[in-house]
Structure 1
Amino acid sequence: MHWNWTQTGWPHFNYDLEALEPLERQFLKSSGEIIGAVRHFDDEDSQSLRIELLSDEAVKTSEIEGEMLDRLSVQSSLRRQFGLDADNRAIRPQERGIAEMMINVFETWSEPLIHETLFRWHAMLMAGNRHIATIGGYRTHDDAMQIVSGRFDKPVIHFEAPPSRQVPAEMDAYLSWFNRSAPEGTSPLPALTRAAIGHLYFESIHPFEDGNGRIGRALAEKSLAQSIGQPSLTSLAYTIEKGRKAYYGELEKNQRTLNVTGWLVYFSQTILHAQQTTLARIAFYIRKGKFYDRFRGQFNERQDKVVSRMFREGIEGFKGGLSAEKYISITGTSRATATRDLQDLVEKGAMTRSGERRHTRYTLNMPEAKK
């Protein structure tokens, strides 16, 4: 199989620049909308929004790789590392590690990319991992680095990366390209073009034993941040996870060629979709603020706890909605009290009710944000 890194011309990718121009313009327009929307928040609200977005990205970038993390634990870890008040819940090493990496990506977006940065991210990601030989360094094993699926006796090879002995030289070239193509570099590239190539290029080298996907998406975020001059807060992993099958399919197809126009269009459209998701989440956060302004002081302690818990689930809320059973589980109260509390919330206009009997569900009644 002729993988991209075995072909004459590697690592110089070919693409149709004109196909990207309208997407690049839309990216800059949407970036301005996001920056403008966030600018109206005070410091406390900005910090809370940042934690919500970063925690969702941390959870989703891990979920893409099949690792399920607890969103609230990741949020708690983020709050601690930002120096904010946090609960005392137990946090697993992998949840603390991804939170550390997300903050480091966020805080060091403007710095040039160096090997040590990648090693630090990898060490954070692999905290507590006892299944790989090299943590905080590039792979050194002699076995082929392959992406496979299917039965053990009949594996399907989706991609094979360069052998470990080539990785240091490949990564030297990658870092040179990444820094050279930055806005202040000697050969700057447009925002989407650079992020898309940078992600595919990194994934094709696959320099680590594990964690390449998560680090590759972090590099895309760093690239976008450098292009707009501040952390992008783009819901990239959140969006990719929704179309995970297409993401892996496009990667596999474009790791067999150096003509990557299709990949650039796909990844650019994914970023644009991610921007719209970010704008929707900002609108949700504004609606959350309006909700609390409207009902401040009207809830008892149990109701406050449940409403807060529902908001912490994010824009998607509880899967299947809030039931009386979930209310009881969160508050530890009796069924009769839960029924009275929920009815009171409906009568106040804080929640809406749908369904009947055991299918009854409750959702927050949130005002639409004014445009």
Structure 2
Amino acid sequence: MSWPSHDADTRSWIPRHRQGSRADRALTEIEVSIPPRIADLPYAPSGPVARAHEDAVIAVARLEAGYGQHLAPLADFLLRSESVASSKIEHIDAGWRAFGTAVAGGKASEEARSQLAAVRTLAALVTAAAEGPITLDSILEAHRLLMAPDFYTAQDSGSLRTVQNWIGGSDYTPIDALFVPPPPELVAELMDDLIAFVGRIDLPILAQAAIAHAQFESIHPFTDGNGRIGRALISAVLRRRGLTQRVTVPLASAMLADTGRYFSQLNGYRKGLVDEFIEYVAVATIHSCEAAQESARALADLPAQWSARAKPRANSADESVLAALLDTPIFNADRAQKITGTTEASVYRALGRLTEVGILEVLSENKRNRIWAATDVLAELDGLSAAIGKRTTHNR
């Protein structure tokens, strides 16, 4: 289907600092990309794109109906998987153990805190979308949450950029950049246009989410965090339109599997190749949902496996911990004591036994805040991302 490409405009460039190469210092003009206004544009997929779109919507509905409504822990599991994969696209990867330590409130690395902030960001944006229209304020609040762990980026968080940014090329100027977004004076207007677009209900749902993401990345409204907020916007649109009620489609793992193709597809959108981008997102959705269903089945089988391995006594602390592991796979001693309702000594003995048989793993040995995690759940988180990546690269 016909879709307008981005325009290009030449703007004056006045460097803020006399840094970089001779070419950086001599730069006086840059070419910026100007996204089209899309608030009122029609879109209807046809042919192979329409079939892929329909198959993707069915895959999401099947995941939601088959597991989202009957396996409550799947919601948190998929939310964390999507957020961590989205962070990895930005080269932020603390590893699951460090991330788990951050989840339980332990002393964590900067990368682990950033990944946890991405989880909270996605949760907040999706929750806001479930409760009402997606607004600029909800996106700005999501950005504040995402940037909160870093003192320096937090100072500029929650507000649209007032400077020119760019992707790739020099650290000092947009020379040789891969993409130069629109100038800052156009950002507010373009974001208003995008908010109007995501508020429509006359568009195919997944297509609307895909276009919203590509348009957001093209506007690049923040100085940092655009990729993670833009990918979270996909989930927010799906929730706002009612396609999802509990689950989060772990699309970022498909994008992570081949980031070169992902960025190439975004560039294609900027050339007006909207059908290709929507088909890309639709196929990624199908692979993600199929792999998520396999993870859901594996998670559902874990409690019986744990009981067979640990053989807990009826009404024991061990049994109480096992019963809560899918809902709370990462926890500290205080949380375990609340779950079991027993003494501290009894809790530590139970945790020791479950660790000895390999059901739990100690993530942090800090005496003040020791942290445990369900080994099988952590393994399944890694397994889901790998399974999506394998499907993505095998079927492209």
Could you say whether these structures have the same fold, taking a TM-score greater than 0.5 normalized by the shorter chain as the test? Answer: yes
What's the offset of the Cα at 1:310? 4.1
What's the offset of the Cα at 1:194? 0.7
What's the offset of the Cα at 1:244? 1.5
1:10 pairs with one of 24, 32, 36: 36
Change (3 A) 1:260 1:137: same
1:192-341 matched pairs, under 5 angstroms: 192-227=206-241, 228-255=243-270, 257-297=271-311, 301-304=355-358, 305-306=360-361, 308-316=374-382
Change (3 A) 1:74 1:109: farther
Q: Deviations over 1:27-57 (max 9, x none)?
A: 232123212322563xxx51x3222222221
In structure 2, C-alpha distance between the alignment counterparts of 1:234 and 1:302, rounded to whole Å: 35
Find out whether 1:118 has 2:172 as its counterpart: no
| 3-state secondary structure, aligned to 1:11 | coil
Match of 1:63 in 2: 88
1:135 pairs with one of 157, 164, 168: 157
In structure 2, C-alpha distance between the alignment counterparts of 1:310 and 1:229, rounded to whole Å: 26
Contact 1:52 1:75 in 2 (8 A): no
In structure 1, C-alpha distance between the alignment counterparts of 2:127 and 2:34, rounded to whole Å: 38
| 3-state secondary structure, aligned to 1:285 | helix
Change (3 A) 1:88 1:160: closer
| 3-state secondary structure, aligned to 2:179 | strand
What's the offset of the Cα at 1:76? 6.2
In structure 2, C-alpha distance between the alignment counterparts of 1:249 and 1:39, rounded to whole Å: 32
Unmatched tracts of structure 1, length 5 or more: 79-86, 183-187, 318-371
Change (3 A) 1:177 1:284: same
Match of 1:50 in 2: 75
Q: Deviations over 1:343-371 (max 9, x none)?
A: xxxxxxxxxxxxxxxxxxxxxxxxxxxxx
What's the offset of the Cα at 1:309? 2.3
2:56 pairs with one of 15, 27, 30: 27
Q: Deviations over 1:126-172 (max 9, x none)?
A: 1133444621100002xx32111479899642211110011111111
1:65 counterpart letter in structure 2: E
Change (3 A) 1:253 1:100: same
Match of 1:178 in 2: 198
| 3-state secondary structure, aligned to 1:234 | coil
What's the offset of the Cα at 1:243? 1.8
In structure 2, C-alpha distance between the alignment counterparts of 1:248 and 1:50, rounded to whole Å: 28
2:80 counterpart letter in structure 1: S
In structure 1, C-alpha distance between the alignment counterparts of 2:253 and 2:210, rounded to whole Å: 16
Change (3 A) 1:169 1:265: same
Q: Deviations over 1:254-298 (max 9, x none)?
A: 32x224221111122112221112212112212323422433417
Match of 2:106 in 1: 89
Unmatched tracts of structure 2, length 5 or more: 9-32, 313-352, 362-372, 384-396
In structure 2, C-alpha distance between the alignment counterparts of 1:241 and 1:74, rounded to whole Å: 18
2:123 counterpart letter in structure 1: I
1:26 counterpart letter in structure 2: D
Change (3 A) 1:284 1:235: same
In structure 1, C-alpha distance between the alignment counterparts of 2:37 and 2:7, rounded to whole Å: 7
Contact 2:35 2:182 in 1 (8 A): no
TM-score normalised by structure 1 residue count: 0.70
In structure 2, C-alpha distance between the alignment counterparts of 1:56 and 1:259, rounded to whole Å: 29
TM-score normalised by structure 2 residue count: 0.66
Change (3 A) 1:72 1:55: farther
In structure 1, C-alpha distance between the alignment counterparts of 2:173 and 2:123, rounded to whole Å: 41
Match of 2:368 in 1: none
Change (3 A) 1:102 1:117: same
| 3-state secondary structure, aligned to 1:157 | coil
In structure 1, C-alpha distance between the alignment counterparts of 2:69 and 2:224, rounded to whole Å: 40
Contact 1:146 1:157 in 2 (8 A): yes
What's the offset of the Cα at 1:316? 3.6
| 3-state secondary structure, aligned to 1:28 | helix
What's the offset of the Cα at 1:109? 2.7
Bigger mean CA offset, 303-312 vs 3-12: 3-12
The number of equivalent residue pairs is 297
What's the offset of the Cα at 1:235? 0.9
